[in-house]
């Protein structure tokens, strides 16, 4: 593999860097670099700025309104945004459901939904997990019964990230219970403003309202909102999960957080400790290796190949790296990482910090990232999939 970028790619990187520097709001960048709380307005402001440029769907082909960038260009765009302190683009619309609609949706569905996703105006949520169906998605029980030109949906979804902001939700629903589990699932697009949809918050270990339960009580969904064929939703779900697990790797955020770790380690006086610096070096090597694997996956996509097994490996390594840097950040702050002041997550908070201000978010960050090896398919399950598909 040639690890050197071409002159054209370097020029592309410079163009992206210049645009991000000119358009990324300084207050948002400050929050991101200091791990402060991002609200809906912050996330959607950035999404809309990208949408105006035609970059919110940065991985989309030109035929669907995207820039048509190749794998290397997409990687460089993600890297420049992350290093500049841009928020991570909420993936459920542009990264997850949009490729499914492009690949399996009707022209009417594409015309209706893709423009709102690209513009950043429409917020999408993901309705996959259920109380008894997390990594084992084939066991979903949320039921959709066809009645004339509508589906009647009843059931529950859980761990719905940022579902309190959702306009639409894409759901895996059970449409046939008489066949093997994978063969009786369909993929539905549901308007979250529909009567019978209830969103209930789940407050997490770090005190944040990030995830939710979503209940469906006789929710009427037009049959035209079915993506692809009835009972073929498992095929579409696997297609989407390959995108999700590649996205979870989030190597560019890891590179940014590595630099934050070095800053805090130097400020707290532990960077001179050779053992601690060894741990930073080990982390940096793992991040470089992860980046190489990401480029490998993107190259496969560029050539028209889908490799879910490699996406599983990305999910495993990326999530473990995220947990590792959040742990090292806690260790760098030492005792000053332990006090948790919820209000200190807000930019401009004027209360008393215990230790330096950069230590205030470290406990929240650490506890929140305990989830990374569970969501998107637990790492234990991912290892089983890799063993079966790669090792045989």
| DSSP calls for 70-111 | -HHHHHHHHHHHHHHTPPPPPTIIIIIIHHHHHHHS-HHHHH
Closest alpha carbon to 78 in 107, 57, 103: 57
Beta bridge partners of 132: none
Question: What's the pLDDT at 243?
Answer: 64
Rounded Cα–Cα distance for residues 306 and 302 (Å):
9
Outline where DSSP puts E strands in the chain: 124-127, 143-147, 150-157, 168-174, 185-191, 197-203, 209-222, 226-227
Closest alpha carbon to 173 in 121, 224, 137: 137
The C-alpha angle 263, 269, 270, rounded to 5 degrees, equals: 85
Cβ proximity of 101 and 227 under 8 Å: yes
For residue 233, the SS3 value is helix
Q: What is the pLDDT along the chain (392 residues), one digit of tens a residue?
A: 556 788 999 999 999 999 999 999 999 999 999 999 999 999 999 999 999 999 999 999 999 999 999 888 988 999 999 999 999 999 999 999 999 999 999 999 999 999 999 999 999 999 999 998 877 788 999 999 999 999 999 999 999 999 999 999 999 999 999 999 899 999 999 999 999 999 999 998 888 899 999 999 999 999 999 999 999 999 998 888 766 666 677 899 999 999 999 999 999 999 999 999 999 999 999 999 998 887 777 666 666 665 545 777 888 999 999 999 999 999 999 999 988 888 888 888 888 888 898 999 999 899 999 989 988 778 898 888 888 877 76
For residue 135, the SS3 value is coil
Question: What's the pLDDT at 346?
Answer: 87
What pTM, to 2 d.p., does this model score? 0.89
Question: What's the pLDDT at 21?
Answer: 98
Rg (CA), the chain: 21
The set of residues, in sequence order, having a beta carbon less than 8 Å from that of 316 and lying 6+ positions away, is 373, 379, 382, 383, 386
For residue 319, the SS3 value is helix
């Amino acid at each position: 593999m040639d690890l050197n970028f071409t002159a054209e790619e370097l020029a592309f990187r410079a163009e992206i860097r210049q645009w991000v520097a000119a358009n990324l709001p300084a207050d948002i960048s400050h929050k991101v670099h200091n791990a402060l709380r991002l609200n809906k307005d912050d996330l959607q402001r950035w999404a809309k700025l990208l949408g105006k440029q035609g970059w919110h769907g940065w991985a989309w082909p030109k035929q669907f309104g995207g820039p048509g960038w190749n794998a290397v260009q997409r990687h460089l765009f993600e890297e420049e945004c992350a290093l500049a302190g841009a928020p991570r683009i909420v993936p459920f619309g542009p990264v997850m459901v949009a490729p499914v609609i492009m690949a399996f949706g009707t022209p009417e569905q594409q015309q209706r939904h893709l423009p709102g996703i690209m513009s950043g105006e429409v917020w999408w949520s993901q309705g996959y997990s259920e109380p008894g169906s997390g990594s084992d998605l084939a066991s979903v029980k949320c039921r959709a019964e066809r009645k004339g030109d509508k589906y009647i949906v009843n059931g529950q979804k859980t761990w719905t990230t940022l579902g309190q902001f959702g306009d639409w939700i894409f759901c895996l629903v059970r449409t046939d219970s008489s066949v093997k589990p994978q063969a009786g699932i369909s993929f539905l697009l549901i308007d979250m403003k529909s009567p019978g949809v209830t969103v209930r918050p789940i407050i997490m270990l770090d005190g944040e309202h990030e995830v939710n339960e979503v209940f469906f009580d006789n929710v009427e969904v037009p049959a035209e909102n079915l993506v692809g064929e009835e009972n073929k939703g498992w095929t579409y779900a696997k297609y989407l999960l390959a995108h999700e697990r590649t996205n979870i790797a989030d190597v560019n955020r890891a590179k940014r957080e590595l630099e934050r770790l070095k800053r805090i380690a130097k400020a707290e006086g532990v960077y001179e400790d050779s053992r601690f610096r060894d741990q930073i070096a080990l982390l940096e090597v793992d991040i470089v290796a992860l980046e190489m694997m990401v480029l490998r996956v993107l190259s496969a996509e560029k050539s028209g190949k889908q490799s879910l097994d490699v996406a599983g490996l990305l999910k495993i390594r990326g999530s473990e790296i995220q947990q590792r840097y959040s742990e090292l950040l806690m260790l760098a702050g030492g005792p000053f990482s332990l006090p948790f002041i919820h209000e200190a997550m807000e930019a401009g908070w004027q209360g008393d910090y215990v230790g330096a201000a950069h230590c205030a978010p470290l406990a929240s960050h650490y506890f929140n990232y305990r989830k990374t090896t569970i969501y998107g398919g637990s790492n234990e399950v991912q290892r089983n999939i890799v063993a079966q598909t790669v090792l045989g």
